[in-house]
Amino acid sequence: MPAHIILSKMWSAALCFGALVIICITHWVYSWRNPRCNGKLPPGSMGLPLLGETLQFFSPNTSSDVPPFIKARMERYGPVFRTSLVGRPVIVSTDPDLSYLIFQQEGRLFQSWYPDTFTEIFGRQNVGSLHGFMYKYLKNMVLNLFGPENLKRKLLPEVEKKANINLSLWSCQDTVEMKEATATMIFDLTAKKLISYDQAKSTENLRMNFVAFIQGLISFPLNIPGTAYHKCLEGRKKAMKMLKNMLDERRAMPEKYQGDFFDYVLEELKKEGTILTEAIALDLMFVLLFASFETTSLAITLALKFLTDHPAVLKELTEEHEAILRSRENVDSELTWKEYKSMKFTFQVINETVRLANIVPAIFRKAMRDVQFKGYTIPAGWAVMACPPAVHLNPAKYKDPLAFNPWRWEGVELNGASKHFMAFGGGMRFCVGTDFTKVQMAVFLHCLVTKYRWKAIKGGDIVRTPGLAFPNGFHIQISEKNIGTGCKDI
């Protein structure tokens, strides 16, 4: 056969193959952008194949408003829209009714779900990824530590003591970076209650592993050396190794009873027929250590920033706490549970702080079956993302929503989540550490405003990626109101 005929056939075959590839890619892209649905999907864009709109979602911004990624799509598509994040199709809800439905229908229409990157970070058997009886079992375990009875009897006085010690130390320093300082204070307290960890007596710094972990927690999930996500996973590995070593040491010396949460976990592991495994127990300890200090330290730091910028709020807060001191027989008595529960304006300040903080910018669930909502279909198996900032900054519910105004909460009783407030989650997964967080914030503010004054030195600006962070910290100078013996007694 002549060479030119052979060459012509080869070109024809190559062109056919190329055309087939183009058709397949075109079909794939079309299918990606137009997912199948037994009904009408919410409007939106699926972005690029595989990548979706992940880069836009993680793009940093300095706004305290609804995240630009969300706000732009709300304006274009409405309160419920579709997108794709880290390779998964997602329905985003900024609608208070849908977000509330998602929480209330846990275990029936929706179940807890997080992207694979999150489960890689927190552990595949972490409490947030477990369902049904196992989740309730772990929740009851945690309530043994953070429940109301333990808060009244043990944690309230310990939190007050820790706050007083640290404030006294900080008043002897030229400046204090509040995010780092409060994170260390809270970590020291909770690590002691959870695992009897004392940094001063340890050869390894457990908290530094969590610092590496936090820096990559909400970052683009690229697991190669040098990236924040890779450092995050390495921080988790080191922290988990330390926890595993501690568990092994406790088992080797069962007579060395510490009276902490770790002892309680070990007793559960020993029980015949227990459903608790070592892997679940270690993941639980890891999540509790992280959750107990990082979010609360962010909230306290932001509260101090707000109080610094709003003297009228600080004045009323101070008056409330000074009134508590005046009503005592002994002004130096420990704070009582009754006094704590009387701090009405303090709780208004806390509510307003966490409303504006939006420390948890997204709460994920997964549809267990097709769900109909206002003419749209949420397909079974799709991820659903409730967006607290869109609820907390809704001008239809909150007048001048970006303003720090604790008085807006006057007369409002908040014992859980509602359609318009979900700073601590909602439904059966309402955060079990909520009361502990409020105790820490209220007691810290009590100790601060009754004994100290402060002034801002530098920092205080925020960035969201999409989680809240203080890139330059918030540096303040603290001094005693009544110059006494604080520093020289340390």
Coil, strand or helix at 92? strand
Rounded Cα distance, 122 and 421, in Å: 26
Rounded Cα distance, 268 and 287, in Å: 18
Report the candidate in 208, 188, 210 with the shortest Cα–Cα distance to residue 197. Answer: 188
Report the candidate in 300, 194, 178 with the shortest Cα–Cα distance to residue 239. Answer: 194
Report the candidate in 392, 191, 425, 161 with the shortest Cα–Cα distance to residue 293. Answer: 191
Amino acid at 208: M
121 near 217, Cβ under 8 Å?
yes
For the beta sheet containing 176-177, the strands, ordered from the edge strand earlier in sequence to the opposite edge, are 176-177, 474-480, 452-459
443, 445, 447, 449: CA torsion to nearest 10: -150
* Annotated binding-site residue? 487: no
Rounded Cα distance, 234 and 214, in Å: 11
Burial class, 230, CB count within 10 angstroms (exposed 0-12 / middle 13-18 / buried 19+): middle
| Rg of the chain in Å (alpha carbons) | 26
Report the binding-site residues. Answer: 431
Report the binding-site residues for heme. Answer: 431
